[in-house]
Every structure is written in structure tokens, then in C-alpha cells.
Chain A
């Protein structure tokens, strides 16, 4: 198992270095010059030009610039936003919990509905239920989620008036946010109705963001389950006198989960992509919205840092999933 962990971690390092190179070169690949691109049509004073060039580190040799960049990264210095002059890492860390909260709720929703739906479809193969689950999930998979989010708002917020349209909590509430996770902070504040308000704000974005993972997980669970149900050990489990429920939910599911876990890991990318769109629509103050705004403002240090951090998250989560995979699958745990 240790060797397996070491091998996986080792494979990630070149990718990691590559990501820093990519983030670094982003600023140099801009046609012309990043500072000129920033100045826009108004132009800028030579002093301001010098100052910006220096701030972006563009006045030194390329190789020095890269090593400086990596050195700064290692010290937690991701540069400063051109727009707010705050540290990129600090901004990121402030906004990140909002995205995590949203993404976790979306993923929980996807798992809670997707796993049972996929299992039911597999067990009742070729039934009306199976066809409905597959039809709905293919539609969900093909859904432009920015439009889906608008439809949800149109129905639940505009027509029915059940849920708020944007933000994380009602503006009437004002309490300290030590964790950044609104549900937890609201709960800790002890204010009446705070948790409910946070939940009501969370639910629509979570549905919008969870739709594609839900569809993918349902489809994957179904096909993994169908494969596993044909296996000999399922017959053995039945021959023991186990109930159909235990056979499916213990013996079959445990094996079917192995490929499904990999797919769940791959959903991190989908969730981040989705967060960019969902947060923009619901004015959710997370890193997705932050990045889109940075691009519109040509705030390159933020774009650079955001890309770097997002890629890091994807890599780390996939690494974690790989390791978890080893825990779930005894064949990998012992054969390293």
C-alpha cells in the first residue's frame, strides 16, 4: 500500500510542475504584452507602465521570472490582484469555502439520488423505470446548466416565490463567519432562521450544479451494477440465503462502487466548471464568479492564481480518489 501511495504521488509531480509552467506562461502568451492589454485604449503613463511591468515581473529575464514565480508560490505568495490590490491567495481562501459548500451539497445531492437511481435501473433492467432513469439522465447530461439554472429560477423563485434568487443568506442576518461555510456559521451564530435562510439560498444553485454529476453517476452506477450482477459471487451470495436487498446493497454494490468512485473523482472538474456558471448566475460569492470577473477585468494575477489553484484542487482530489480506490479495492491494496 505504501508503495502504491508513493507511486501515485510521484506521478503527480511532473503534472504539478507543468501546471506552474502553464500558469506562468499564461501572462507571456498574451499577444503583444500583458501591460499593453491592461492599458486598453486609454493608454497609460510611462511611470504607470514601468510600475505595472515591475509588479508583474516582466522587466526581468524569463528564466529568472519563472524561478522567482515558483519561489514566491512556495512561500504562499501568489501575487496581488491588479483590481483590489489584495493578495490572490488571501482572496482565494476567503472565497473558496463558498464554492466548497456549494460543490459538496451538489455532489451530495448527486450521490443521494444518482446511486439509488442507477441501482434501481440496473435491478429493474429494461423496465419502464430503467428507461425513464436513463432518459432523464441523458437529458441531464446534455443540459446547458446555465440555462437550467435560469429555468429553476424562473419556476421556483419567480413563479412560485419559494426560493431567493441570489446570494448565500438573507441580508437581514449579520454574524461573524469564522469558517466561511455559511451553513456552519449560521448554525454557530444561533440566530433564529439563519440556517433555514442559508439552506434556502443554497438549494437552487446546488440543484443546478449537481445535475450533470447526478446524470453521470446514475449512468455509471447502472452499468457497473449490471456488470457486477452477472458475476458468480452474486450467485454465491444468493445461494447463502441472503435477501435480495443484502445481495444488491452489500455484495453487488461494494464491487460496483469501485468504478463509480473513479467517476465521482472526475466530477471535481465538472463541479468547478459548473461553479463558474452557477456562481455567475446566482451571484454566489465563490471562486467561479471571482475568476469570470477577473477575466473580464483582465486581472491577470487573479486568473493565473485561480487557474493554478483550481488545477491543484483537481489534481489533489483525483490523487485522493486514487488512494481511496486502493482502500475500496483489496486487489490494489495488497498487490502493490
Chain B
């Protein structure tokens, strides 16, 4: 009878190795991860990678089609827009903007959400009531509408769009954090460290927070995708980044009139948005499955 060799005594694999083990089994998630890495690479080195400047106008070759079409040239691989700017270069610089928006709004929202969630979970009572009702109100507004409301107050622009997106995402982090805190607080290790004399602040950030990171990581990853999507939507409506900033959404807005004539002006920015959002969603789904102990066998 062949028996598989009994596993000998060995060190438990580090959490990161284990995470990768589960994550890498999901092909979609790995694809998402590599796309995200590529996006970050493009964003960091946009100045070196992009063949042209994002705003320089080659008037004589306006609306040049992509290189593989009749009339296209190697000089502008994905063609040019109405004022002769190189679309590929604008997309590469746009990646930098989109990731920057994602990074800033997710960090803002995440840090504020953690603090509010911890407060609501720890202090309970009227503090919790006030915070959670406020979050309910924010959730009652459709996401883009809330963002529009914020932009209506602050005025259109890239920075204000980031604030708006951070506000829109905030309730999700607060709710998640509060729920995790309440679950964690009922566990024995918290009681143990209370007995050991840990103060509330220490308990919040040193004891409870590290144990709530898994859902926060997943939510933050998915937050990136909704931030990119919302920023593009705001840009498209003219409420986000203003021209000539090479933001994907605003590129689409100015492409509207060429829908009949120059398909490439419309197609590529949208494709860039779709691919980035899809990549973050795939990665987030993969992370959630890999971090969810229920699904581990």
C-alpha cells in the first residue's frame, strides 16, 4: 500500500508565502496583479516611456489614425486626437493620474475610515450613533451623486474630485472597521491585553487594528477600481480633471464629437479605464478568496 509520506515536522510557512500560495492558484487574480504592476511601472516612468509629451500638439497630424491603419504612422502608435496630441503618450501619463487619484483617495478614505470606525466600535453610545447615522446618509446618496454634490460645493477640478471620491468611499471603510472592531473586541485576546493594562489607544491601534487588516486590504484594493472609475466619470462630466490634463475620462469627453469619424479617439481611453478597473477587481477578488479562511481547505 502506497502511503504518502507523512509530513515531517517543519516550520509553518510564513503568512505571506501562504497568501501567495492561495492567491497564485487564481489565474485571473495573477493576471490582475501583473496588470496592476505594469500600470504602476508605466505611471512611475511615464516621462521616459511615453514617446511624446502628453500635451504637445502636432497640429499638422491632427486625428492621425493608429499606426496599423491607412494613413497612420509609426510616430503615433495609437493615433492622435483632434489637436494632434499623441494618444499613447496621453494614456501613459493618464495611468499616472489615475493611480495617483486612486492612491490619494483610498489613503484619505482608509485612514479617516479606520479612525471613525475605531471610534464607533470602541466608544459605542452616542458617538457610534452619530457616526453611523452620518454614514447611512452618505450611503443613501448614489455614489456619483454624492461625488457631484461634493464637487458642486468645492468646484470642479482634479484635487476636489479626489476629495469627493474619498468621501464617497468613506462609509464602506467605517462600516467594515466598526464591524471588525466589535467582532474582535468580543475575543479573548482583547480581554487578556485589557487585563494586562493596555490603554484604549494602545488597544485600538496595537491590538485590534492589526487583526482587522485582511478585510481592509481587500476593500482598499477594490476601492482603487471604484476610485479610477468615479474619477473617470467625473472627468467625463467635466467635473474632474480639466483639459488639457491627460485624464482618461476627460479624454473621452472631448472625444464625443469624433464618434462618427475617429474611432481610436473614443476607443483607447475607455479601454485603458476598463483594463485598469478590471485588473484591480480581479486582484481584489483573488485577495479576498486568498484571505478568507472559510474557503481554505
Contact = CB atoms under 8 A, between A and B. Distances in A.
B248 to A, nearest CB: 8
B115 interface: no
A60 B148 CA distance: 27
Given A272-B142, A273-B142, A14 B133 contact: yes
Interface stretch (B5-13, B195-203, B258-266): B258-266
A276 B142 CA distance: 10
A310 B145 CA distance: 8
A89 interface: no
B144 A277 contact: yes
Does more than half of chain A's interface fall in helix, strand or loop, or is it mixed?
helix
Contacts of A14: 133, 136
Interface string A130-156: 000000001101111011101101100
Contact of B237 (A22, A277, A310, A311): A277
Contacts, number: 129
Nearest to B143: A273
Contacts of B140: 15, 19, 311, 314-315, 318
Interface in B211-228: 225
B136 A18 contact: yes
Nearest to A275: B142
Interface stretch (B63-71, B88-96, B273-281): B273-281
A300 B149 CA distance: 10
Nearest to A312: B140
A249 interface: no
A5 interface: no
B152 interface: yes
B259 A150 contact: yes
Most-contacted residue by chain B among A31, A147, A270, A303 (CB, 10 A):
A147
Interface string B250-274: 0010011001100100110110011
A158 interface: yes
Contact of B141 (A138, A139, A303, A307): A307
B33 interface: no
Q: Is the interface on chain B under 10, 10 to 19, 20 to 34, or 35 or more residues? A: 35 or more
Contacts of B229: 142, 144
A141 B144 CA distance: 16
B153 A144 contact: no
Given A26-B152, A314-B140, A15 B145 contact: no
B273 to A, nearest CB: 5
B143 A295 contact: no
B154 interface: yes
A292 B285 CA distance: 33
Contact of B151 (A22, A269, A295): A295
Interface residues of A, number: 46
B143 to A, nearest CB: 6
Given A154-B263, A295-B152, A146 B252 contact: yes
Contacts of A63: none
Nearest to A14: B133
A277 B277 CA distance: 18
Nearest to B271: A147
Interface string B28-59: 10000000000000000000000000000000
B133 A311 contact: no
A25 to B, nearest CB: 9
A269 B154 CA distance: 23
B261 to A, nearest CB: 9
8 contacts: A18-B137, A144-B273, A150-B259, A272-B142, A273-B143, A300-B152, A310-B145, A314-B142
Given A144-B277, A147-B274, 9 more contacts: A19-B137, A22-B137, A26-B153, A30-B153, A138-B281, A138-B285, A142-B278, A144-B249, A144-B273
Interface of B: 28, 133-134, 136-137, 140-145, 148-149, 151-155, 225, 229, 232-233, 236-239, 249, 252, 255-256, 259-260, 263, 266-267, 269-270, 273-274, 277-278, 281-282, 285
Interface of A: 14-15, 18-19, 22, 26, 29-31, 37, 138-139, 141-144, 146-148, 150-151, 153-154, 158, 268-270, 272-273, 276-277, 280-281, 291-292, 295-296, 298, 300, 303, 307, 310-311, 314-315, 318
